[in-house]
């Protein structure tokens, strides 16, 4: 599929500087651009590559001023990174799969929308509702009474347990599991445990991305809630009865214990662990590998194990690394006093 530079600019409402008739047929990185390639410049540290790139055109912001001659055409936009993402999404959408494999196992009373793709060895149980343009890749299992919205993608090996709800425009990557039992066991006098039935479900709202091998547990009662716009990376565990607020982002290997509520627009670094029954406010930022054992108010920035105010934590680390020498000095002073 080929487009001219001008056609691409028209798609995103951009302006062209250079040859509007140059042909674009692929995406490429700015540091190793290719002929007929489209790249972008968003990070200033990559600016020097724009003068040597072999890419035919580069998306740049409206304020960019070249200081040396260019061999590429420029496509000026307000946000090159976002514009590049939109173009890649258009490309991806143009290659959406359609059709239902003869090797899929679909119950009789399943409701399928228009232009649905269902791959080989997908199994779909009774009472499932699937919206328009949704894609379900091979070896995925959807249990009874699940509802999936429009334009959602379930990649290979996704498992959705019974009665869960997935919204519109969601993406669940390979091996994600939605609706497993929450980790609920009542201790007995004989030191054994009685399993507590998990009778709720998981509700994932619109525009949510779930990474590969991420697991979200169903609630004991009610629903585990993943609000609209949430982005979860790979290998994340969300326990039963949790709620993750709108547009919150979590990097890989975070673990959220049961009945914790996390607010809107939060950012969690990788390997963050959050204890149970906590309330994390809106716009909270948590540094990588932090252990969150307390609730935090809106706009908090925390770090460490246990997590506390990030600036105080950094000061504490500056002292902590000198503890051995401080101890030695104190020992020397004690010896002199004696």
The catalytic residues are: 240
303, 316 in Cβ contact below 8 A? no
- The string of DSSP letters for 168-190 reads TT-EE-TT-EEEEPP--EEE-TT
Q: Residue 116, SS3?
A: coil
- Rounded distance between C-alpha atoms, residue 161 and residue 159, angstroms: 6
Closest residue by Cα to residue 148 from 94, 210, 88, 104: 210
User: With contact defined as beta carbons under 8 Å apart, do 37 and 56 qualify?
Assistant: yes
């Amino acid at each position: 599929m080929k487009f001219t530079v001008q056609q691409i600019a028209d798609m995103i409402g951009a302006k062209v500087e250079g040859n509007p008739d140059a042909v674009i047929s692929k995406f490429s990185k700015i540091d190793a651009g290719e002929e007929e390639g489209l790249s972008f410049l968003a990070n200033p540290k990559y600016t020097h590559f724009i003068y040597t790139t072999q890419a035919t055109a580069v998306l740049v912001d409206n304020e960019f001023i070249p200081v040396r001659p260019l061999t590429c055409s420029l496509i000026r936009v307000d946000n090159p990174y976002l514009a590049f993402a939109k173009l890649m999404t258009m490309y991806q959408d143009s290659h959406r799969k359609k059709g239902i494999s003869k090797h899929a196992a679909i119950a009789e009373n399943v409701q399928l929308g228009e232009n649905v793709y269902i791959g080989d060895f997908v199994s779909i149980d009774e009472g499932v509702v699937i919206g328009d343009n949704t894609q379900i890749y091979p070896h995925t299992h959807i249990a009874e009474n699940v509802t999936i919205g429009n334009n959602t993608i379930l990649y290979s090996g996704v498992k959705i347990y019974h009665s869960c709800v997935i919204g519109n425009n969601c993406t669940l990557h390979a091996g994600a599991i939605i609706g497993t039992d929450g980790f609920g066991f009542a201790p007995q006098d004989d030191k054994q445990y009685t399993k507590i039935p998990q009778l709720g479900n998981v509700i994932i709202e619109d525009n949510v991305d779930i990474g590969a091998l991420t697991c979200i547990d169903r609630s004991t009662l009610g629903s585990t809630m993943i609000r609209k716009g949430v982005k979860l990376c790979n290998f994340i565990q969300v326990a039963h009865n949790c709620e993750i607020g709108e547009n919150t982002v979590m990097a890989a290997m975070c673990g959220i214990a049961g009945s914790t509520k996390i607010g809107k627009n939060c950012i969690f670094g990788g390997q963050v662990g959050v204890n149970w029954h906590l309330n994390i406010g809106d716009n909270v930022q948590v540094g990588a590998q932090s252990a969150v054992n307390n609730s935090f108010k809106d706009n908090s920035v925390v770090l460490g194990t246990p997590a506390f105010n990030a600036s105080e934590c950094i000061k504490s680390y500056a002292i902590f690394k000198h503890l051995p020498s401080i101890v030695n000095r104190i020992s020397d002073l004690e010896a002199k006093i004696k």
